[in-house]
Amino acid sequence: MIRFSSTFSIPALTLACFALAACSDKPAKVPAANENQVDYFADDAWGNPLAVVQHPAGEHVDGITYLAYQGPLEDPYVASYNHETGEWKGPVQAGVSVMGKDPNRAKKVDNHGKPTLIVDDAGYIHVFYGGHGGTPGAHGENPLGNHHYGENRHAVSKRPYDITEWEDLHTIPPFGTYNQAVKMDNGDLYLFYRHGAHRSDWVYHKSTDNGRTFSPAVSFLKHKRRDDLDAVDSWYAWVGRGKGDEIIVTYDYHLCWDMNAGVDGRGHTTERHDAYYMVFNTKTGVWTNVQGEELQMPITREYADEMTLAARTGDKWTFNGTVHLDSEGHPHIATNIGEDLGEKTGGPKRTSHFRWTGEEWVGGEPVADIAPDVDSRGDFIVNSPQDIRFLIAYKEDGIGQVAWWNSLDGGASFTKGREVLRRENAGWAITSIIRNSTPEARAIVAEKQPGEDWHRVYLLGDDGPVTRALSEAQRREK
């Protein structure tokens, strides 16, 4: 088993730069108006460095937004932005991922271990990273699923609200991937993830001591062998805060085919279908569906179809999105839907919107008025049942765009609002909405130019990206 140091510190040169700022009582210098500014905050994001599913990737606390992304060698990196002073810090390496270090591995970049970030009630910053199921040789039997690669890890800042030094806590099993962190009003932390590779349960852990320890894993979505097909039932989920003591979950069904099985004998693909929704009351421990009926856990495919189904997508494939509540406490779901075009990943999937009216699920049409062969991703802010704002990233006619799409009729129609970022030839990786986001900082995006392994990362607000001095944003030698 490969061992890495449990303590991480930033390079001496970077540390010296932070020390200069720390020695003064004055706010750090805001770059002068004539200093060369750029609209990205770093240029060393690696692979597919961000996603909607690993979340939150950023959090705003007391005037500072903390950000995480996958950097060199698939390691987690953290930066911060002070909204009052305009000061950027970092990015700083927060840990060492097992992945990204083996030159003999056929698939050089795994991408499943991108970091999730959350700040506890004591001000310590937590990053969960590096996992894609673990390996039997290094980690032994996975009691809730199968293996693949990597090692799920948990890093925490050594001091509150300070990104300069980190340590690993060894508080979670190594098998997890797609980490998602939720903090309740009483400070309890919940960590949700898939407990292994595709054929694994989805689970959660609870911490009542600011993430210093976590309870054992509890399954809430059950994987199991099908007896009618050469396949296994599996899932993809997105978990967020609901109202009061509740956590809300949307998920889609993954039909995990055996080798040489399935449509045209393609074997394992990303085939996924439908949209589901349920609620977890963290105070009572009871799970319910949208009608308030108590659920028996963990959920199986047959039971999900009976009790938690929000939408059927038929032959179309899905890529699950996010869920939020409106002012009446009704859930709205984003899910990405597209055709099966005979490929391992199906076809492009466009972000679509569903909502619960109090009596039924409605919607399902694409949010952005873009071509059917254009892939889109994003998250949304919902104010009322009628007022919904999506931040969507897509590439159309060779132009990469990140833009707001707004509805004032409950999602029956959307119109394009402000375009906040545009680049020729660019594809995008985008996060969910930042936790406790502000109008100046809503999401993180990475610009993916064709043939490039390294990507620029941007902090985007309602009106566009937050700028930074070029000398600070350029982290790679050209």
Residue 435 neighbours by CB distance under 10 Å? 22
Which is catalytic among the residues 81, 178, 190, 458?
178
Q: Is 178 a catalytic residue?
A: yes
Q: Is 283 exposed, middle or buried (0-12, 13-18, 19+ CB in 10 A)?
A: exposed
**3-class SS at 372?**
coil
With CA atoms as reference, report the closest residue to 333 among 379, 374, 287. Answer: 379
The CA-based dihedral angle spanning residues 11, 92, 154, 177, taken in that order and rounded to the nearest 10 degrees? -120
Which is catalytic among the residues 55, 66, 77, 112?
112
Q: Is 112 a catalytic residue?
A: yes
Who contacts 43 (Cβ-Cβ below 8 Å, separation ≥6)? 454, 455, 456, 457, 473, 474, 475, 476
Encoding tokens for residue 84? 């009052």
Any idea what DSSP says for residue 474?
Answer: -
Extended strands (E) in 326-465: 331-338, 350-356, 361-366, 376-382, 388-396, 399-407, 415-424, 427-430, 443-448, 454-460
Who contacts 85 (Cβ-Cβ below 8 Å, separation ≥6)? 27, 28, 30
Q: How many CA atoms lie within 13 A of 336 on its CB side?
A: 31
Across the strands, what pairs with 402?
393, 421
Residue-wise DSSP of 1-15: -----SEEE--HHHH
Residues serving a catalytic function are 112, 178
